[in-house]
Amino acid sequence: MLKIFLPDEHVKSILDIKPEDLKERGVKGIITDLDNTLVEWDRPNATPELIKWFEQIKKHNILVTIVSNNNENRVKEFSDPLQIPFIFQARKPLVRAFNKALSQMGIKKEETVVIGDQLLTDVLGGNRSGFHTILVVPVAQTDGFFTKFNRFAERRIMNWFRRKGMIQWED
């Protein structure tokens, strides 16, 4: 039952995901979370390193859509300068926003990865929708109110995975 929370991959940072590796695997699109996946939840804009990463992704003709549970102003302020399409108030882990992003990109599920920092929203929603999921270590050590609850539950789930030998990485 808990396997629905198990990501297909785990990386320390989104910057560790190489566009060459994605292309080699046939990936044409990325659905990514925003807060604590791309930047800290309270940072309004992309870092220079992240901007460079997005440029590399675009050079490899990989599409990106940001899917966030946050409000329109937050997501728009971040996404517009980068000219990245977005979906706000996504209500992850519900699958509707994932399917909408896929439809907007015009690619197949098998050609898409979902990247995020939370098991209970990003990984669960991506897995329920049938995507390849990549869990990243949260960018910030602090979280908003609701995310704090999620992190508590995530620690319990991750400990269960470790005890069962299902994961080998460290937090």
Q: Give residue-wise pLDDT tens across range 35-44.
A: 999 999 889 9
In a domain, 67, yes or no: yes
The pLDDT assigned to 169 comes to: 64
- Asked if the structure places residue 169 within a domain, the reply is no
Q: Residue 97 in contact with residue 91, Cβ under 8 Å?
A: yes
Domain count, the chain: 1
Does 168 map to a domain? no
Domain-located, residue 170: no
| Mean pLDDT for the stretch of residues 133-144 | 83
In a domain, 171, yes or no: no
Say if CB 104 and CB 65 are below 8 A apart: yes
Least confident of 15-19, 68-72, 164-168: 164-168
Query: Model confidence over 105-124: pLDDT tens digits?
Result: 999 999 999 999 999 999 99
Q: How would DSSP label each residue in 138-155?
A: -S-S---HHHHHHHHHHH
* CATH number assigned to the domain comprising residue 8: 3.40.50.1000
Domain hosting 21: range is: 2-163
Residue 24 placed within a domain: yes
Q: Is 158 part of a structural domain of the chain?
A: yes
- Does the pLDDT of residue 50 top 60, yes or no? yes
Please classify residue 125 by burial: count the beta carbons closer than 10 Å to its beta carbon, then call 0-12 exposed, 13-18 middle and 19+ buried.
buried
Q: Of the candidates 15, 8, 44, which has an alpha carbon nearest to the alpha carbon of residue 129?
A: 8
The residues near 95 (Cβ < 8 Å, ≥ 6 apart) are: 125, 128, 129
In a domain, 12, yes or no: yes
Residue 135, token pair as written in the block:
């869990």
